[in-house]
Amino acid sequence: MVLRAPGRPLEPADLADPVPAAGEVLVRVSACGVCRTDLHIVDGELAEPKLPLVPGHQIVGTVAAGGERFEAGERVGIPWLGETCGRCRYCLSDRENLCDAPAFTGYDRDGGYAELALAVEAYAFPLPGAISDLGTAPLLCAGLIGYRALRMTGDAERLGLYGFGAAAHIVCQVARHQGRRVFAFTRGEDADAQQFARELGAEWAGDARGPAPEELDAAILFAPVGDHVPAALRATAKGGTVVCAGIHMSDIPSFPYDLLWGERSVRSVANLTRRDGEELLALAPAVPVRTHVTEYPLERANDALDDLRAGRLNGSAVLSVS
Ligand SMILES: [Zn+2]
Ligand SMILES: [Zn+2]
């Protein structure tokens, strides 16, 4: 499925089989998760995708050809971080997620809404283990970004999650495994999402516009809603951190300094490092993380994006590719 211009639906297309260059592998795609970032790209909120573009950056498949790192037939995952320069000050200081010249999968490079995809083999993850292809796909961005955001909260015990979608439903399980208490803040009166959050271990779930039931030690904002920043600061105890985990957010309204005072901090989390991926993929079976997946055949990618945009999904949408 191909994006020809932002603001237009994806179109089915017959593309030539991609040919791996040196250091790349050709992957036969089995499943590809649908991420809110895909929606921001399709809707034109992220300005500079390659065009035409095959979106998708939570790719699970098997190696078909190329490279030296993987055997043919080995199961691999391809994440958002497609390649980095390896030379800039960020790459050289263990911060490859901030690389000055990165290439992102499904944005700068064609992604996984397709039968075949290329990956730079050094940035692909080996995927041994028993979790299904469909169940694994959401770990590769929702899980990874969520995990990185969770790390940024330090040892916060009382954790607020604003927006209970694909990432939060994974983070909630990891946070509970770590012994934290989880509070889920959802869209309005979204009883389905609130029930879903409680089933996954949140001890409270309610309207993000209302007050928190008690003070939080940290909050992670997954919903791309700038209004949540002052709300989350207001809910957070002295010394607490508010982590913005999305790649795009509506403007943050001005707020009184009192909300930041007391050594509270607001920060964003950008992209992922390969270390984040290795850690989460090792941790997920121990939790064990159970992803809640709604499956769509590849040709229904536009329906998956529409359902995500409208908030009709619990958990993650994943495209299955046969
Ligand atoms: Zn770099
Ligand atoms: Zn993503």
Give the pLDDT confidence score for residue 189 in this predicted structure: 79
In sequence order, what are the beta bridge partners of 105?
A: 109
What's the gap in Å between 95 CA and the centre of ligand 1? 8
Q: Copy the structure tokens of residue 256.
A: 């009184």
Query: Could you report how far apart the first and last alpha carbons of the chain are, in Å?
Result: 14
What's the gap in Å between 213 CA and the centre of ligand 2? 30
Those residues whose beta carbon sits under 5 angstroms from the ion ligand 1 are 84-85, 88, 91, 99
What's the gap in Å between 45 CA and the centre of ligand 1? 24
d(CA 260, CA 265): 7
What's the gap in Å between 123 CA and the centre of ligand 1? 13
User: What are the DSSP calls for 182-242, one per residue?
Assistant: EEEEESTT-HHHHHHHHHTT-SEEEETTS--SS-EEEEEE-S--TTHHHHHHHHEEEEEEE
Handedness of CA 200, 280, 36, 235 (dihedral sign): positive
CA of 38, nearest ligand number: 2
Q: Strands 81-83, 103-104: parallel, antiparallel or unpaired by DSSP?
A: antiparallel
What's the gap in Å between 126 CA and the centre of ligand 2? 19
User: What are the DSSP calls for 73-129, one per residue?
Assistant: T-EEEE-SEEE--S-STTGGGT-GGG-SS-EEBTTTB--SSSSEEEEEGGGSEE--S
What's the gap in Å between 273 CA and the centre of ligand 1? 11
d(CA 142, CA 34): 9
d(CA 295, CA 220): 27
What's the gap in Å between 83 CA and the centre of ligand 1? 9
- pTM here is 0.94
CA of 85, nearest ligand number: 1
What's the gap in Å between 54 CA and the centre of ligand 1? 24
In sequence order, what are the beta bridge partners of 241?
A: 218, 265
Q: Mention every residue, 6+ apart, whose C-beta is less than 8 A from residue 176.
A: 182, 200, 201
CB-based contact 218:160 (threshold 8 Å) = yes
pLDDT values of the chain reduced to their tens digit, one per residue, 322 residues: 999 999 999 999 999 999 999 999 999 999 999 999 999 999 999 989 999 999 999 999 999 999 999 999 999 999 999 999 999 999 999 999 999 999 999 999 999 999 999 999 999 999 977 789 999 999 999 999 999 999 999 999 999 999 999 999 999 999 999 999 999 999 887 889 999 999 999 999 999 998 999 999 999 999 999 999 999 999 999 999 999 998 899 999 999 999 999 999 999 999 999 999 999 999 999 999 999 999 999 999 999 999 999 988 889 999 999 7
CB-based contact 319:297 (threshold 8 Å) = yes
Q: Strands 204-207, 181-186: parallel, antiparallel or unpaired by DSSP?
A: parallel
CA of 98, nearest ligand number: 1
What's the gap in Å between 318 CA and the centre of ligand 1? 30
Those residues whose beta carbon sits under 5 angstroms from the ion ligand 2 are 35, 37, 141
What's the gap in Å between 38 CA and the centre of ligand 2? 7
Q: pLDDT, tens digit, for every residue of 143-174?
A: 999 999 999 999 999 999 999 999 999 999 99
Backbone phi, psi, residue 150, to 5°: -65, -40
CA of 103, nearest ligand number: 1
Which conformational region is residue 203 in: left (phi greater than 0), alpha (psi within -120 to 50 degrees), or beta? Answer: alpha
Q: pLDDT, tens digit, for every residue of 241-275?
A: 999 998 899 999 999 999 999 999 999 999 999 99
What's the gap in Å between 257 CA and the centre of ligand 2? 32
131: helix, coil or strand?
Answer: coil
CA of 56, nearest ligand number: 2
Buried b / exposed e over 268-294, threshold 16 CB at 10 Å, is ebebbbbebbeebbebbeeeebebbbb
Q: Mention every residue, 6+ apart, whose C-beta is less than 8 A from residue 92.
A: none
CA of 142, nearest ligand number: 2
